[in-house]
Amino acid sequence: MISAETMFYFSASIRVGRKLASLWNNEFSSNCFSKVD
């Protein structure tokens, strides 16, 4: 059985991971487009 704490940390880490991933994707794509120009 998974405890409530484990679920909380799991969901929180996923949320943070997604935020970091979207930020990284924005940086990466903007850098690529600026280099193309």
Q: What is the pLDDT of residues 5-16, one digit of tens each?
A: 999 999 999 999
Average pLDDT over residues 17-35: 83
Q: How far apart are CA 9 and CA 4, in angstroms?
A: 9
C-alpha angle 27-31-36 in degrees, rounded to nearest 5 = 155
- Where does the pLDDT of residue 36 fall: very low under 50, low under 70, confident under 90, or very high at 90 and above? low
